[in-house]
Amino acid sequence: MRILNVVGARPNFVKIAPLMREMRRRRGIEPILVHTGQHYDANMSDDFFKDLEIPVPDYNLGVGSGSHATQTARIMLAFEEVCAKERPDLVLVVGDVNSTLASALVAKKLGIRVAHVEAGLRSFDRTMPEEINRLLTDAIADYLFVTEESGLKNLRREGVGKEKVFFVGNVMIDTLVQNLGKIRDSRFAEELGLREREFVVVTLHRPTNVDSEERLRGILRALGNVRRTVIWPVHPRTRANMERFDLLSAPKKNGNLRLIEPLGYMQFLSLVARAAAVVTDSGGIQEETTYLKVPCLTLRENTERPVTMTLGTNVLVGTDPRRIAPALAAALKAKRRPRIPPLWDGHAAERIVSILLREARR
């Protein structure tokens, strides 16, 4: 069973690692890894492959940046050539980035079956490009692997046949469980002069937060008023906007706020595991903080991962920077007893590969 596994961005790398490991362990599967090159910054791509022991991609399409239309079109053109050459039995896509939808569309047009890992998640906000990618990928996928119960409800409401849908757990948590020992043994926080539970980690990259000068300035001001050290590994998109808006000098005026370069998987998660709290607009970090039981403030008006709020540590703050300080104070004082969601046990990849082999035999 020849499977083309497609990745393109940081969250994809974290999800594909356990799947590639499990596929290579099983008989009857020939896994082929395709990296679209959607994330081309070394710290956002190469370091993750090294940290997570992901094999060197069989194909690197090198599409780079561009508008959504340009990037999607480039991926489709290049990926079609790979499909024509390899003639796979299945194309497996993960997450909700442009690479996910573009590869799924190409495969389906060529009559190749599609598996979508992390299906059914919905923010119900169609201004988010990721939401469009999720909706369209799920609409054409043959196998939909769901991480949480909200995904089952969403797909049922959208009329997806239950024979296509499988509740398997979360492969991102598989990677976290696999590397938990290394994360806990890391001394990276100490190397930065940070004391456990006495600092806050920040990661922001969504346009709603970083493309507006007023909002980004407000976020920097709010974080500067936090009475703890704030460590911020700055996404390339965010740093470019800080430079454009002349905001890189702001942290110098606020001694508690430290901007650093993007981090690899192990370094970043070692900080998250020791943080007092995390401030983010990322979907995956909502899940990782839930498993690690670290308070998480999400600077968005919605989340496609509601289980991180109902069972986990996540709190929606909204996009008004003035809410950050009071929300953080409340989160640090709260005496919540978070729980790990069902099937977030480190074995999701095993379930997915077993289902694919079973379906292939059928």
pLDDT tens digits, 207-225: 999 999 999 999 999 998 8
Number of helices and strands in the chain (H, E): 18, 13
pLDDT at 44: 57
C-alpha span between 105 and 74 (Å, rounded): 13
User: Going by C-beta distance under 8 Å and a sequence separation of 6 or more, which residues neighbour residue 86?
Assistant: 2, 4, 32
List, for residues 158-206, the tens digit of each pLDDT value: 999 999 999 999 999 999 999 999 999 999 999 999 999 999 999 999 9
Which residue ranges in the chain fall short of pLDDT 70? 39-45, 252-254
Q: Which domain holds residue 261?
A: 182-333
pLDDT at 66: 83
C-alpha span between 118 and 137 (Å, rounded): 11
List, by residue number, the catalytic residues: 205
Residue 151 DSSP SS3: helix
Residues 202 and 137 placed together within one structural domain of the fold: no
**How far from 293 is each of 178, 223, 288, 312, 348, CA to CA, in Å?**
17, 22, 8, 7, 20
Residues 235 and 96 placed together within one structural domain of the fold: no
Q: What CATH code is carried by the domain that includes residue 116? A: 3.40.50.2000
Residues 51 and 105 placed together within one structural domain of the fold: yes
Number of domains in the chain: 2
DSSP state of 87: -
C-alpha span between 156 and 213 (Å, rounded): 41
Position 214 in a domain: yes
pLDDT at 18: 98
Residues 262 and 315 placed together within one structural domain of the fold: yes
pLDDT at 46: 72
Q: What would the two tokens of residue 18 be?
A: 């356990």
C-alpha span between 139 and 293 (Å, rounded): 34
Overall pTM surpassing 0.85 (yes/no): yes
pLDDT at 10: 86
Residues 22 and 128 placed together within one structural domain of the fold: yes
